[in-house]
Amino acid sequence: MPDELSDLFQPDNVRSGHSLETIGKWGGIHGLEKGLSTSAKKGIHGDPTDIKRRNDVFGNNQPIVKPPKTIIELIIENFEDEMLRILCGAAAVSLVLGIATEGLAEGWLEGASIFVAVIIIVSVTAGNNYLKEKQFRKLNEMATKKDVNVIRHGQQSRLSAFDLSVGDLVEIETGEIFSVDGFLVEGSNVVAD
């Protein structure tokens, strides 16, 4: 049922009417209630074992967060810049030519100084990108935090949208951005984008 339920919310299935046909085969909203062990008036039972069972079967509503790039990945990413690769090539050529023409005692200075400049540029850029990514993650986390009104076992409560489970009965307020896919059970003059 989890895959079938997920398919109901695919944009192509909604537009084509396939989603409505599938709900009709299940017996409409009442069949869906029965299949999800929920109530259109009282919501799910909501005790910890019920929530765990639902999360095991359907998954949770936690956002998928990509792991942050490591500092090594950010350093390697810097070398995608063509100018930096040209500088490294120039440093290598300068190092070889300098040693060949002026000897090891003084010939390495120019090539090594270019390498030092590249190391400084890469270190500063990678460090800056690391800090920016860390700040962006923190801001994004704050922006996505949202509480919603939920009815569980006939009682209204406010929870994080990330703690919603399949079968929860959510009360939608004016101007609200939907936190999950769902079915409208009851409403008046509801318009959605």
pTM of whole model > 0.75?
Answer: no
Average pLDDT over residues 41-69: 89
Q: How confident is the model at residue 98, as a pLDDT?
A: 92
- Edge-first strand listing for the sheet containing 147-152: 155-160, 147-152, 169-171
- Domain assignment present for residue 49? The answer is yes
Three-class SS of residue 147? Answer: strand
- Backbone torsions φ then ψ of 26, nearest 5 degrees: -80, -10
Overall number of domains in the chain:
2
Q: Does one domain contain both 138 and 155?
A: no
Buried b (16+ CB within 10 A) or exposed e, 106-115: ebbeebeebb
Task: Determine the pLDDT at residue 183.
Answer: 83
Domain holding 123, by residue range, is 71-143
Q: Residue 76 has what pLDDT?
A: 93
Q: Among 143, 159, 181, identify where a domain stops.
A: 143
Task: Please report, as a single letter, which amino acid is at residue 81.
Answer: D
Residues 6 and 53 grouped into a single domain:
yes
pLDDT tens for each residue of 127-152: 999 999 999 999 888 877 888 899 99
* Residue 161 DSSP label: G
Confidence at residue 1, expressed as pLDDT on a 0 to 100 scale: 67
Return the higher-pLDDT residue of 99 and 173.
99
Which pLDDT value is given to residue 91? 92
Kindly state whether residues 43 and 93 are assigned to the same domain: no
Mean pLDDT of 73-96: 93
Q: Do both 137 and 158 map to the same domain?
A: no
- Together in a domain, 12 and 106: no
139 and 76 co-located in one domain: yes
Q: Looking at residues 90-104, what average pLDDT do you find?
A: 92
Rounded alpha-carbon distances, angstroms, from residue 101 to 94, 95, 97, 108? 10, 10, 6, 10
pLDDT for 118 beyond 90 = yes
